[in-house]
Structure 1
Amino acid sequence: MKNLYRQLNELKIDYEMKPMDVSAAEKNRIKGKVLRKKKKYRAPKLISAAAALIMATTVACGFAFPTFAAKLPIIGNLFEMFSDDESYVFEEYETYATDIGVTKESNGISITVENAVYDGESISIAYKMVSDKDLGTRPILEGMLDAVEFGDEYKDYGFAPKYISKKISENEYAGLLIYQLIKGPKPEEIHVTWKGEQVLDLSNVSNSFSGEWAYEFTLNKLKVHSKDYVGSELIAADDGINIVLTKMTATPVSTTIYLSESVDIPTVTKQDTEWRGILMDYRVTDDVGNEYNIISYEDIGHSSDFNGRNLESNPRITMTLLDKQATSLYITPIVNIYELDKENGSDLIPIQEPYEIEPIVVPIEK
């Protein structure tokens, strides 16, 4: 549960969660955010089949759990299993992944960390779970992730974990942890310690299994190319809204977009009223017809009660690699306006239909 409390500071939420009864602690974790289903953004249409083949599993785990290995694809590609997920943003991982292949068992659940990638923006870990009990429909391994090189920089804030899970067969599961590094150091080499504390079903958070699954491994940062856009006037603007592109980074496996949002809530809502909230979604497309899968980090959002009238928020978008034929990228903001429940800040009620504003148009350098 320690990791759950750490997440309060960043208000990190899995927005793919379906409405359900949750514990009081879970309600507090999502305070100020919205339980909503994002639109499904598909990966670029021109990605080759080879680019989708990512992360081979190790032979050792196949010997330990032959029935599970037989039910995985022949190449043992855990990342490929999530190609139909709206958060699938992985490319070329079969080239850049570090093999881990370590299995730990606790409370009747065997968990094997197969591969991991560190690209300077995120640490992505692929793992599989085998158990003699039903873990639910979307179980994930939750716990503390750290690296000695981080010092205390990510101790309480600055990170944003994203969990993806899939049931392979009865009592067999595949999972991904995308540990986004938001505000803190990004060393060239990291010695990672991941201490799993519980297996939690995202579809039913009351269904959890405590245990101890500890892993240690070393990862080297992939090559990162970054372009600063501060002062470039690449802006999306509307009445009371100003969104600026500040930076883009490209790694061999993904692209990350950094934005700065400034929102005047009374102007946007046309109501100078308390308990109003505004959150932005984004749609990313290009000039050759691709609509990109994305993973969003929303930062603090905008609330008339929690952060004042016009406080800056700095979201981040991680997406698949850009299509090589594209010459322009379109980042379209989608404005969501809510009324906050005065009794329970985790409940936000839409007060009008979401709407798009004119996109930021980014020229793609060749």
Structure 2
Amino acid sequence: MKTLYKQFDRQKLNIDQDIQPMEVTDLEKANIKRAVMRGRKRKNHLPRNLSVAAAFFIASGITLGAAFPTLAAKLPIVGNFFELFVDDDNYVFEKFDSFSTDIGVTKESNGIRVTVTDAVYDGENIAIAYTIEGEQEFGTKPILEGAFHAEEFGDSYEHYGFHPEYITKKISDTEYAGLFIYQLIEGPKPDEIHATWKGDSILDVWNVKNEFPGDWTFNLTLQALNGEETKSFTDAGITSEADGVHVALTKMTKTPITTTLYLSENVDVRTAALEDEEWRGALLTYVVTDDLGNEYNAIHYKDTGHSTDFRKEHRSVPRITTTTFHEDATSITITPYVNVYKFINDEDVNEGPLELAKEPYAIESMVFDLK
């Protein structure tokens, strides 16, 4: 756990420890703290007393329960591992097994064996598949927690510019399969990386008291997949507008295993909330579909979000990572949904847990051609 918290010791942030209405885990709260540090390095940094509310919109959080079919053959106890997860909302790496590099390295510490089975680097994300085995129960959703660094990154991702996602599947009380996704948001994306993943604990993200220290360090050399294509939409005018909300599609990057959509958001929160009350925050979420009727799963990096504390010209630059689009699809539709939040007690003290101030509502969809 120290890897997640060490960079916030000097911040002394007032983080509420029971954010039940937001349904976040203890690890998500740690990610929120990291996101606050990232926000402080921007010009429109977050005031200390708004750290919980504003930082919520930065943290994408923990994604649990998706699949990577390559593990099916490597975990006989699981059976057909792929079929267990094919309907999971967070499953986006459909072609993981076709492009991943076999690693097959096991490290054991304090009676716990961690095996990195496969890894893939597509230039946008680094995804590492691994298993956890031991003699004891590790909790509901354990992950391998620890620092990840590649020498080619230098200091670029020391505090911000990246975002981690963790996907976990419980096989039995003592066996788990996981996927660690390291998203490269702002910084270098080299053709080859020499990375070290220094795992120092097995951590249950639903109950961080379930923590098992150890040393599971893995060294990985990964080549970026060939075939990355980037298309700019900056001058295409693909936008969505509503009262107080402006969204634009700025770029699309396709790799052999993922498609990443880059967006720009401006939100006048008072106008979008249709009220002039106490502090309000806004978070935009998205549904991605094609002209064939397919709806795509996605990993949503939310960036800073929006609040009444920001200036009206504040811009957030989120991105959506999904799988490759269907080969017969000719157009993609992105539908934004506006979520407005408030503090539960709506008091003068701008801190504490959040809840929706109103029902989320959809605004105008954005449509662009693929061919």
Structure 2 length normalisation: TM-score?
A: 0.82
Select the residue among 337, 349, 362 that pairs with 1:356. Answer: 362
Task: Report the RMSD for the aligned CA atoms in angstroms.
Answer: 3.2
Q: 1:290 aligns with which of 291, 294, 302?
A: 294
User: What is the one-letter code of the residue matched to 2:247?
Assistant: I
Maintained 8 Å contact 2:32/2:58: no
Count of aligned pairs between the two proteins: 337
**Inter-CA distance 93–358: structure 2 relative to 1 (3 Å threshold):** same
1:73 pairs, out of 55, 76, 79, with 79
Question: In the alignment, what sits opposite 1:222?
Answer: 225
2:118 counterpart SS class: strand
Q: Distance in 2 between matches of 1:227 and 1:7?
A: 36
**How do 1:96-115 residues align onto structure 2 when only pairs under 5 Å count?**
96-115=99-118
2:87 corresponds to which of 81, 84, 91: 84
For residues 167-214 of structure 1, give each alpha carbon's deviation from its aligned partner in whole angstroms, at most 9, with x where no partner exists. 112311000111100000000000010001211112222221121110
Q: Give structure 2 stretches of 5+ with no counterpart.
A: 36-51
> Counterparts in 2 of 1:80-229, with a 5 A limit?
81-223=84-226, 224-229=228-233
CA distance, structure 2, for counterparts of residue 180 and residue 198 of structure 1? 21
Listed one character per residue, the Cα deviations across residues 221-240 of structure 1 (whole Å, up to 9, x for unaligned) are 01210001101100011011
Q: What is the letter of the counterpart of residue 356 of structure 1? A: A
> TM-score w.r.t. structure 1 length?
0.83
2:77 maps to a residue whose letter is K
- Give, in angstroms, the shift of residue 93 of structure 1: 2.0
Alpha-carbon distance, 1:109 to partner: 1.2
**Separation of aligned partners in 2, 1:320 and 1:140:** 23
The 5-angstrom pairing of residues 217-366 of structure 1 reads: 217-223=220-226, 224-305=228-309, 307-340=310-343, 343=349, 345=351, 347-365=353-371
Residue 55 of structure 1 aligns with which residue? Answer: 70
Q: Secondary structure at the match of 1:5?
A: helix
Deviation at 1:18, TM superposition (A): 8.2
**Distance in 1 (alpha carbons) for counterparts of 2:28 and 2:235:** 44
Displacement, 1:286?
0.8
Taking only the aligned residue pairs, the percentage that are identical comes to 48
- Letter in structure 1 aligned against 2:3: N
Cα deviation 1:37-70 (Å, max 9, x = unaligned): 99x9xx9xxxxxxxx9743589xxx7xxxxxx43
**1:97–1:116 CA contact under 8 A, matched in 2:** yes
Q: Contact (CA 8 Å) 1:277, 1:340: kept in 2 or not?
A: no
Q: Is the 8 A contact 1:165 1:174 kept in 2?
A: yes
Helix, strand or coil: the match of 2:253?
strand
